[in-house]
Chain A
Amino acid sequence: MVLILFAVFVVWRIDSPRVERFRAEVIDRVVPSFDWAMAPLTGTVHLFTEFQSYRRLVEQNRDLRRELQQMKAWKEAALQLEQENAKLRDLNNVRLDPALTYITGVVLTDSGSPFRQSVLINVGSRDGIMDGWPAMDGIGLIGRISGLGNETARVLLLTDTSSRIPILIQPSGQHAMLTGDNTNSPLIEFLENPDLVRPGDRVVSSSDGGVFPADLLVGQVVLGSDGRLRVRLSADYERLEFLRVLRSQPRESILDPGALIAPRDTSQSTDAAQPEEPASAEGTNG
């Protein structure tokens, strides 16, 4: 029996994707059938944790009112900026990517282990989800789909030790990798010039390598207590309940150099491909 179990391990080591697919399938069969027990239990636990905060309800309410007042001012500013932005975009003839639509799923379970950071959501390949698509809560990036069943999909959180995504740090335009290390704030690695990056800078995803759509909000740069640059994530990891999975289409890539330099026949026209290039180049730069 021990030999059989170790054989399973060896098979996993040799042919990991197949076994992981099997794992996804098993979870896909079992977990949705336990939904009836899990949903009320989770709800009850949340009820109890929230009950503790009722005692501080009055002061919380006051704080919220004050915050709301500030937010109204910000909202006004944002509206004005949005209009200005729209006007400028119109002047510059910028094309935004219209393909970013999303599917919303509910979190079923977490990974159940303190060393793995992932959640299982209740949408899967039945809903057209594909491996590698990014998942967000309302605000920021949460992770990406890694492991797909028919009715469930596993979202690998940015905090997991095996999570690596390409990022762009906003005012300075520096490219880097965001590396999860099982803490609340993932690490920034492979930064070209750390001097240009300050705590408080905005971090967004970048489309380097064609893995992710660009310009999804990730968080803010902070200086960790160990003196390394980390990212405080914008998404609310405390309460993951509903996740949006973005449909990300693979980016069109430009393979041939075109006929700009090479001599060409006058009879063949490659002009039809020309207007596409500046637009997609702009898209990649964000």
Chain B
Amino acid sequence: MAEPTSARRWVGRVIFPLLVAAIALVQLLPIRTTPTIFPMPDVILCLTCLWVARRPDLVPVWIVAGIFLLSDIFFQRPPGLMAGLVVILTEVLRRRASALRSMSFVAEWTIVGVGIVALTIANRSVLIIALADRAPLGPVMLQLMLTVMIYPALAFANMIAFGINRPGLGEVDAFGRPL
């Protein structure tokens, strides 16, 4: 009984980075090289929040840190800043994961949304304090809105594809600990 569940956890831990790598690869494809006024939502950030809020055991903190440090490097962002902020956000979510489970979906969505907004504000403030280059405000706001908006769609897709649902109240893992 213990074997399959533990194995499933490791499969989950492998699936997440692979999923993120696939998304990053698609984003890096040189399909649109002209600037757009309509930026794509930050799918990787939204996905990470979703997995952490629903199945914190599958996304340990070192995976989050590694993924975002690498994506900082690849997407030409200041390295480390976004990664650090995302780690803080996911740790906050992780601590509330059991509370989130008993709330309605709208409440979960709101909390994650507020978290993402706070992350964007913090990111921008640090960049202003550090006198670093900042992206223009308008598209950033638009991207922020889109990122929060796609959360339900991502939640649905992940539930269908990978079974990332919210664990029931009495569910326990292989060692009998509550999920």
Contacts and interface: CB of A to CB of B under 8 A. Distances in A.
Asked if A and B bind, the verdict is yes
A7 B139 CA distance: 28
Contacts of B34: 159, 184, 237-238
Contact of B80 (A7, A34, A107, A117): A7
B69 to A, nearest CB: 7
Interface in B23-55: 24-37, 39-40
B145 interface: no
Interface of A: 1-2, 5-13, 19, 23, 26-27, 30-31, 34, 37-38, 41-42, 45-46, 107-119, 157, 159, 161-162, 181-184, 237-241
A9 B81 contact: yes
Given A42-B31, A45-B31, A114-B143, A6 B81 contact: yes
Given A8-B80, A38-B29, A161 B135 contact: yes
Interface in B71-110: 73-81, 83-84, 87-88
Nearest to B87: A2
A37 to B, nearest CB: 7
Contacts of A27: 73-74
Given A2-B88, A11-B80, 18 more contacts: A2-B84, A5-B81, A8-B83, A9-B79, A9-B130, A38-B28, A41-B25, A41-B29, A109-B29, A110-B30, A112-B74, A112-B75, A114-B36, A116-B135, A118-B76, A159-B35, A182-B35, A182-B139
Contact of A34 (B25, B84, B130): B25
B3 interface: no
Contacts of B39: 114-115
B76 A116 contact: yes
Contact of A112 (B28, B62, B69): B28
A161 B30 contact: no
Interface of B: 24-37, 39-40, 61-62, 65, 69, 73-81, 83-84, 87-88, 126, 130, 132-133, 135-136, 139-140, 143
A32 to B, nearest CB: 13
A192 B156 CA distance: 57
A116 B80 contact: no
Nearest to B29: A42
6 contacts: A1-B65, A6-B81, A26-B73, A112-B76, A113-B76, A239-B33
Contacts of A31: 28
Contact of B75 (A13, A26, A41, A111): A111
Nearest to B33: A240
- Scoring A1, A9, A110 by chain B CB atoms within 10 A of each residue's CB, the highest score goes to A9
Given A9-B79, A19-B79, A113-B76, A38 B84 contact: no
B18 to A, nearest CB: 13
B123 to A, nearest CB: 10
Contacts of B40: 114
Contact of A162 (B75, B77, B83, B133): B133
Contacts of A10: 80
- Scoring B65, B79, B126, B139 by chain A CB atoms within 10 A of each residue's CB, the highest score goes to B79
- Scoring A27, A115, A162, A182 by chain B CB atoms within 10 A of each residue's CB, the highest score goes to A115
Contact of B87 (A1, A23, A45): A1
A109 B79 contact: no
Contacts of B133: 161-162
Contacts of B79: 8-9, 12, 19, 23
